[in-house]
Amino acid sequence: MIELDGFDRKLLASVQADASATNQEVGDRIGLSASQVSRRRQRLEAAGVIRRYRADIDPAAVGLDVIAFVGVSLATHSPQNASRFQKLIKALPEVQEAHMLTGDMDYLLKVAVPDLKALSSLISDDLLPHEAVQNVKSFIAMETLRDDNQLPFESP
């Protein structure tokens, strides 16, 4: 695990909110020169703290009007079952997030699809037929209040 000082944390907070800012702008914001921002940024990229840069796209603008969460329970909890299921969800393009959970649901998926028909077909044609899957429960997002996925940075 890499050591992060106050500048690193401010830098990370800045670029996770807006990666289109130039090193000069970031530097002005956090009190550092552009060259230092560049050097620190490279270090954080190499260390894997910054995993990648992405464009955040409005789902509705590309025809993806349904965001839903799908809770999945597996039939049995054998390692083979789990790995087969994990392979499946890594291959499904509609899946935006997939987490293995504590509690009564085994997995929680966040999916983006054009309409309810597509959600229904994802569940009926892709998830339920899979041997490892016992049952699924879906929750449709009527409204997304936040989806910025911003991590909080402690003050120290």
Partner DNA sequence: AGTGAAAAACAATGGCG
Partner DNA sequence: CGCCATTGTTTTTCACT
| Chain residues that interact with a second copy, rule: CB under 8 A | 1-2, 4, 9, 12, 15-20, 47-59, 61-64, 67, 69, 86, 89-90, 93-103, 105, 107-108, 110, 112-114, 139-154
Taking residues 96 to 135 in sequence order and writing x for each that binds DNA by CB under 7 A, - otherwise, the string is ----------------------------------------
Helices 23-30 and 6-17 meet at what angle, rounded to 10?
130
Q: Are 64 and 113 in contact (CB under 8 A)?
A: yes
**Distance, CA of 82 to CA of 142 (rounded, Å):** 30
The residue type of 91 is A
Nearer to a second copy, 97 or 131 (CB): 97
**Distance, CA of 138 to CA of 72 (rounded, Å):** 9
Nearer to DNA, 1 or 142 (CB): 1
Q: Are 94 and 112 in contact (CB under 8 A)?
A: yes
Nearer to a second copy, 129 or 149 (CB): 149
Minimal distance, residue 107 CB to a second copy, in Å = 8
